[in-house]
């Protein structure tokens, strides 16, 4: 294992974007609105599959670590009203596209989509089937909070067609859970995992976090042992992003209990080593998968991608986000729905998209985005692939890469016969490397999470 000096870790751990898109979301503006996005939808080729993301912005308990757009509800009525608006949006989007588009992947996130009741899941599936084409090849993934449900609730999700379940664990240590308002036993989690598998869900993903309050090397090891005991197909190992200026509920977390940068880095390595020892393949910066999993296959084949859900094997050029705050990706650019449930409802009643902001991307942006995606997914930039895709437009980014190599005194990235590769020293800090290609970053006023 590569040993890193403390000052090296501190220097390259400074906050930068996560690069789940390029340009990144802080660069979105109100110049992209509903009319622009409707035109982008009309331009989707009729024979091209798309992906859908549906955001359910409600939780029955607000976890203090959460960085997602969600709100605490104690009754189901607000969820029912939101679903009625969501059905309207589905119709509006389908009308804008102009034909029933085939869906390759559907993901429900939140919030807690596992709050949805069986009859509402059935109705949602029916509305999706009316507007789009979901077939036996459509991958349907859904985020589950095991504390929302019991084993008997699983039947409704299986009837909906879930093929991959993603369960939030974060940490199984009781003190850590109390500090983030997330009580969740290993036994309850195992009960839901077992019920999902018995119901026919083929793939299970577990989300775990490092960098949480009161986490120690020992609690990380114990949690990863328990995660591995659940035998997931994938594990997403995220560093806790402490952004209380964006998420006010994170102010409930005692900052003095958070591990410092060096301890975060060590915790990350402890967890990653535990997963590798058990045969999980590292995928990019924060995912691990069994060798048979489609993420591992995509990583080996060079088809791994990165979008707002993280690492994916989704080949679709178009990802349409439904629900409040959802982000869409088109060939022409990105857009984001309003974060306000009230504004979302008003837009639906007016039969218009609820687009709040976005960005139209240039040819230069596309080349930079491809180079950053290669860095984040493969830890390299392939010159021939960029040139075959973009022609002479790739020359600017490749020249920038050569300059970055020339100025790199720490050995993070090197030139080779096929382009440029990230060294062992650079792999943990690839977000920092990617930021050197970001033309928008010098003028970006957004605040970001730590790079490790």
Residue boundaries of the structural domains of the chain: 1-18+362-443, 24-322
- In terms of DSSP H, where are the helices of 201-302? 217-229, 261-277, 294-301
Residue 204 pLDDT > 70, yes or no? yes
| Mean pLDDT, residues 412-437 taken together | 97
User: Helix (H) and strand (E) counts for the chain?
Assistant: 15, 19
Question: Residues 2-16: pLDDT tens digits?
Answer: 789 899 999 999 999
How far apart are alpha carbons 104 and 89 in whole angstroms? 19
Grouping H, G, I as helix, E, B as strand and the rest as coil, residue 377 is: helix
Q: Tokens 């005991």 belong to which residue? A: 229
How far apart are alpha carbons 368 and 134 in whole angstroms? 33
pLDDT on residue 445: 65
| Mean pLDDT, residues 87-114 taken together | 97
Question: Residues 21-72: pLDDT tens digits?
Answer: 999 999 999 999 999 999 999 999 999 999 999 999 999 988 988 888 888 8
Confidence of residue 446 (pLDDT cuts 50, 70, 90): low
Question: Residues 243-266: pLDDT tens digits?
Answer: 888 888 888 999 999 999 999 999
pLDDT on residue 359: 98
What does DSSP assign to residue 249?
G
CATH no. for 24-322: 3.30.750.200
Grouping H, G, I as helix, E, B as strand and the rest as coil, residue 153 is: helix
386, 370 contact by CB (below 8 A): yes
pLDDT on residue 1: 64
Residue 335 pLDDT > 90, yes or no? yes
| Mean pLDDT, residues 143-166 taken together | 95
pLDDT on residue 394: 98
Whether 1-18+362-443 shares its CATH topology with 24-322 is answered no
Could you please state the CATH topology (level 3) that the domain comprising 1-18+362-443 is classified under.
Arc Repressor Mutant, subunit A (1.10.10)
DSSP H or E stretch at residue 374: helix 363-378
Residue 194 pLDDT > 70, yes or no? yes
What torsion, rounded to 10 degrees, do the Cα atoms 351, 77, 335, 34 define?
A: 10
Average pLDDT, the chain: 95
| Helix, strand, coil distribution of the chain in percent, nearest 5 | 45, 20, 35
Instruction: Quote the tokens at residue 430.
Output: 């690839």
């Amino acid at each position: 294992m590569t040993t890193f000096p403390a000052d090296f870790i501190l220097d390259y751990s400074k906050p930068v974007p996560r690069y789940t898109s390029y340009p990144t979301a802080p660069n979105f503006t109100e110049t992209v609105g509903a009319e622009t996005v409707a035109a982008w939808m009309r331009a989707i080729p009729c024979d091209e599959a798309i992906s859908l993301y549906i955001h359910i912005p409600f939780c029955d308990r607000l976890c203090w670590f959460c960085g997602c757009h969600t709100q605490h509800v104690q009754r189901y009525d607000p969820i029912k009203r939101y679903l009625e608006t969501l059905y309207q949006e589905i119709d509006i989007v389908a009308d804008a596209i102009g034909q029933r588009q085939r869906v390759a992947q559907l993901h429900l996130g939140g919030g807690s989509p596992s709050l949805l009741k069986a009859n509402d899941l059935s109705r949602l599936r029916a509305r999706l089937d009316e507007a789009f084409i979901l077939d036996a090849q459509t991958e349907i993934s859904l985020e589950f909070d095991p504390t929302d449900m019991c084993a008997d609730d699983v039947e409704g999700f299986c009837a909906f067609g879930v093929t991959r379940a993603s369960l939030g664990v974060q940490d199984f240590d009781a003190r850590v859970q109390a500090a983030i308002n997330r009580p969740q036993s290993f036994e309850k989690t195992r009960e839901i995992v077992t019920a999902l598998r018995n119901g026919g869900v083929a793939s299970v993903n577990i989300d775990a976090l490092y960098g949480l309050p009161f986490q120690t090397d020992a609690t990380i090891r114990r949690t990863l042992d328990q995660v591995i005991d659940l035998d997931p197909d994938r594990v997403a190992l995220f560093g806790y992003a402490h952004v209380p200026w964006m998420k006010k509920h994170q102010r409930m977390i005692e900052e003095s209990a958070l591990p410092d940068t060096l301890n975060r880095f060590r915790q990350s390595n402890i967890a990653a080593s535990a997963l590798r020892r058990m045969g999980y393949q590292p995928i990019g910066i924060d995912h691990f998968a069994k060798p048979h999993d489609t993420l591992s296959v995509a990583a080996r084949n060079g088809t791994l991608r990165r979008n707002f859900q993280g690492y994916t094997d989704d080949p679709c050029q178009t990802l349409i986000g439904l629900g409040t705050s959802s982000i869409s990706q088109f060939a022409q650019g990105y857009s984001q729905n309003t974060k306000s449930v009230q504004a979302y409802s008003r837009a639906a009643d007016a039969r218009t998209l609820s687009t709040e902001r976005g960005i139209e991307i240039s040819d230069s942006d596309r080349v930079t985005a491809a180079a950053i995606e290669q860095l984040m997914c493969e830890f390299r930039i392939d010159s021939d692939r960029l040139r075959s895709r973009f022609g002479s437009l790739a020359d600017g980014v490749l020249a920038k890469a050569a300059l970055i190599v020339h100025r790199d005194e720490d050995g993070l990235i090197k030139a080779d016969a096929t382009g440029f590769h990230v060294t062992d020293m650079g792999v943990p800090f690839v977000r920092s490397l990617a930021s050197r290609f970001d033309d928008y970053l010098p003028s970006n006023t957004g605040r970001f999470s730590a790079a490790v």
